[in-house]
Structure 1
Amino acid sequence: MAGKLQFSLVAPEREVFSGHVDQVDAPGVEGDFGVLPDHAPFMTALREGPVTVFDGNTKRVFTVHGGFADVTPAGLTILAEQATEVVAG
C-alpha cells in the first residue's frame, strides 16, 4: 500500500493494533517523535505516554507504559510493556 506506514502495537498479552496508517506519534525516552511512511530506520526505548495514530481524518490514542519502538523499511513496531486504547468519553 503506497504512501502508508505499516504499524503494529504489541503488548505481552495481545496485538493491540495493526494496520496501514498515515502517521504515528510516540513518547520516546529522549523526547516525543513522529513516524511517517519511508522514515529512516531507528530503534528507541519508550517512556509512559500516548501513542497517537493518524489515518486520514481518524485519530486513535493508546497509552503505553514502557517498551521499545523499532522503525524498519517494513514499518513501525512498538513492543510495549503495557498498552491500552484511550476511549473518548
Structure 2
Amino acid sequence: MAKLHFSLVAPERELFSADVDQVDAPGTEGDFGVLPNHAPFMTTLREGRVTVRDGATVKLFDIQGGFADVGPDGFTILAEHAVEVAS
C-alpha cells in the first residue's frame, strides 16, 4: 500500500517525519485530509489539531497556525508553534 511522507516542522525543530497513511489538518478554509498521491496544493493553517494516522497508530499535535504544502515528495506543515498531545 502506498504511503505519504509527512513532516511537521516548528521553529524550534522538526517534531515528526515519517511515511504514514493519512494526515488531517485544520486549514483556514476548513479542515482537510491528505492521503498518498494527493493533488498538490498549498494553504494556510489555523490553530487546531493535526492527526497523523499510520495503521492503528494515531499521533496528535496541536498547532497555532502555519502553512501546509502538499507536493510530489509528500506533505509538509510549517507550524508557527506545535506540540505533541499525549494520546
* Per-residue Cα deviation, 1:19-51 (whole angstroms, up to 9, x for no partner): 000000000000000000000000000000000
Moved segments of 4+, more than 6 Å: none
CA distance, structure 1, for counterparts of residue 18 and residue 59 of structure 2: 12
Match of 1:34 in 2: 33
Unaligned runs of 5+ in 1: none
Q: Residue 61 of structure 2 aligns to a residue in which SS?
A: strand
Unaligned runs of 5+ in 2: none
Query: Aligned-residue CA RMSD in angstroms?
Result: 0.7
1:7-86 to 2 correspondences below 5 Å: 7-86=6-85
Q: Residue 47 of structure 1 aligns to a residue in which SS?
A: strand
CA distance, structure 2, for counterparts of residue 64 and residue 15 of structure 1: 13
Structure 1 residue 7: deviation in Å?
0.1
Structure 1 residue 4: deviation in Å?
0.2
Number of corresponding residues: 87
Identity %: 71
Q: Give TM-score scaled by structure 2 length.
A: 0.98
Q: Give TM-score scaled by structure 1 length.
A: 0.96
CA distance, structure 1, for counterparts of residue 28 and residue 13 of structure 2: 23
